[in-house]
Structure 1
Amino acid sequence: MLFKTAEQKSTIRREIQGGVGEAQCLSAIARGEGPAESRFKMVSRMTFEAGSSIGLHTHETDEEIYIVLSGKGIYTDDDGSRREVGPGDVSLTMRGQRHGLEVSREGPLTLMAVIAE
């Protein structure tokens, strides 16, 4: 299955998981709109402006991967540790774990977010 850029869904999401600001999203699979037979529930390229964030949240029934494409931020891991992230960094949040992300004041930050059950 191929998702060409021109066919992907463009949206703006605000205050993601209780965070601040907004993200411009380009989704091959928009949240909740994936193929019924697939375990992938979201595949989106998300661009956040400086100072934006994804609030600290728990993945009760799914798992999520972030792949940072550009920009810098501070990632909060399940154990509460906070580390700087930048291009090429990858995070994995397993079922039952939590995470969050704050974009640096120099922003923007672009990442791929993939959620699967």
Structure 2
Amino acid sequence: MILKPSETTHFDNLHGGTGSVIIEKTLQPGTVDGLDLFAKVTVEIGANIGYHEHIDDSEGYYILSGEAEFMDSDQSVRKAWPGDLCLIVKGESHGIVNIGKEPLIFLAVVF
């Protein structure tokens, strides 16, 4: 099976964050058991995805390019670079900020 991006959405202030985020969904809920989302996410320069909780699912961000600060469930902040996987499990919270001079691009998987 080969899936192509099926939906591109532009968000301002996602999860109470600031700035613009573009989400290109390739996998929609119900396509594959156990996966709710597979998407390429672009966080514009200076933008962020606000700190939010995952009550019913887990999520991973695999950083492709850019530089980020990732806020973990314990509210500690760590830098994230290309090749890093930022993982939050069910019941935890997270947020991410683009701190670089280029768009932050990562793959998001919700399961």
Three-state SS of the structure 2 residue aligned to 1:17 is helix
Distance 1:36 1:28, change over 3 A: closer
> What is the distance in 1 between the residues matched to 2:109 and 2:81?
17
1:91 alignment counterpart: 86
- Report what 2:11 is aligned to: 13
Deviations 1:51-103 (A, max 9, x none): 10010111000000000000001000111110111100101100111110010
Runs of 4+ in structure 1 displaced over 6 angstroms? Answer: none
The answer to whether the aligner puts 1:109 opposite 2:97 as a matched pair is no
- Is the alpha carbon distance of 1:50 and 1:95 closer, same or farther for their aligned partners in structure 2, counting shifts above 3 Å? same
* Count of equivalent residues: 111
Once residues 97 and 73 of structure 1 are traced to their aligned partners in structure 2, the CA distance between those partners, rounded to angstroms, is 19
- Paired position in structure 1 for 2:34: 39
Percent identity over the alignment is 31
- Distance across 1 between alignment mates of 2:25 and 2:33: 15
Give the whole-Å Cα distance in 1 for the aligned partners of 2:95 and 2:9.
21
RMSD of the alignment, in Å?
A: 1.5
Partner SS state of residue 15, structure 2: helix
Counterpart secondary structure, 2:8: strand
